[in-house]
Homo-oligomer: A and B are copies of this chain.
């Protein structure tokens, strides 16, 4: 009934396993992050800020490949959770400075266990994970 069209087969697309692997991996994080009361995108913001505190929205946006339309409400929710503060920069009134609160800083200690707990759930060898990591960054930066 359906014509042969190899190029349109779902399993042949690169996009589909990317989309699915991303979603399923995020789902693996969910129960772990729930203990920290964080969503996955919120966790990413925390990773950025734990590495370097007091960044502007655009700094975070650049690191996460996101924009203000996604980040503004995300950061507002995180402010309401008491994880960070959003203050207008003195040097440039357009810019806002995102700073971790003490609560936000302290959450890092609990978060230290997250990566290893996730690695345990993943069905890739260490070498495969490295290989995948390399290929994904090549795709992203291309």
6 contacts between A and B (CB under 8 A): A7-B112, A13-B115, A23-B65, A25-B139, A123-B138, A132-B136
If A44-B10, A135-B135 touch, whether A21 touches B140 (CB-CB below 8 Å) is yes
The answer to whether B24 and A65 have CB atoms under 8 Å apart is: yes
Question: Which of A15, A18, A65, A116 lies at the interface centre, i.e. has the most chain B CB atoms within 10 A of its CB?
Answer: A15
List A1-60 residues whose CB lies under 8 Å from chain B: 1-3, 5, 7-10, 12-26, 29, 40, 44, 47-48, 50-53
In whole Å, how far is A101's beta carbon from the nearest beta carbon of chain B? 14
Chain B hits for A40, CB < 8 A = 15, 19
The answer to whether A47 and B9 have CB atoms under 8 Å apart is: yes
The answer to whether B14 and A132 have CB atoms under 8 Å apart is: yes
In whole Å, how far is A139's beta carbon from the nearest beta carbon of chain B? 5
Taken residue by residue from 111 to 142, chain A's Cβ proximity to chain B (1 for < 8 Å, 0 otherwise) reads as 11011101000111000110111011111111
The answer to whether A18 and B16 have CB atoms under 8 Å apart is: no
How far is B10's CA from A65's CA once the two chains are assembled, in angstroms? 12
Chain B hits for A129, CB < 8 A = 14
The answer to whether A15 and B26 have CB atoms under 8 Å apart is: yes
